[in-house]
Amino acid sequence: MRRKIFITGGGGMLASQLEHFYRENQNEVFAPRHAELDILDDGTLRQALHSFNPDWIFHTAALHVDACEENPELAFRLNAQASANLAQMCSERNATLIYISSCGYFGDEIKYYAESDPVVLKTTYARSKFEGEGTKRILFTSVI
């Protein structure tokens, strides 16, 4: 079944892999880079969703660890609030949102974690991503 896939954070490492996979499998993909679509601008984001009318939205846009520590306000605006706004827009459109979680929730040990493991939110990045995860999610993917 051919799907319309919208990927935030286009050009990023995960977004690029998802874009390649879904294009190779004959899906229509829209993966705008930040310069093409600022997801902090609700009006522009809403218009992009309306124009493309996706079935699935992969939300991979995020402010990463070092940048979060340097600018905590932006970290929470992008990783938490923009995620909540996107989830609301997906709900209104009856589109499936796949929010990519963070392995940074569980501390420093490198191992596989279960969703039920206790969180250890040591960084602004982890706290902002965790807050974004808790907002009106449509579909949650396990920690990658």
Query: Would you say how long the chain is, in residues?
Result: 144
Per-residue tens of pLDDT for the chain, all 144 residues: 899 999 999 999 999 999 999 999 999 999 999 999 999 999 999 999 999 999 999 999 988 899 999 999 999 999 999 999 999 999 999 999 998 777 678 878 888 888 788 888 889 998 998 888 875 443 444 333
Task: Report how far residue 125's alpha carbon sits from residue 130's, in angstroms, rounded to the nearest whole number.
Answer: 8
**Alpha carbon distance 33, 36 (integer Å):** 5
Q: What is the pLDDT of residue 108?
A: 81
d(CA 120, CA 124): 12
Rounded Cα gap, residues 69 and 49, in angstroms: 30
Asked if 88 contacts 39 with a C-beta cutoff of 8 angstroms, the reply is no
- Give how many domains the chain has, as a whole number: 1
Looking at residue 101, what is its pLDDT? 72
- ∠ CA 124-130-136 to the nearest 5 degrees? 140
Cross-strand pairs, 120:
106
CATH number assigned to the domain comprising residue 134:
3.40.50.720
Task: Give the pLDDT score at 143.
Answer: 38
What secondary structure does DSSP assign to 103-140, as a single string?
Answer: GGGB-S--S---TTSPPB--SHHHHHHHHHHTSS-SEE
Give the residue numbers spanning the domain of 106: 4-140
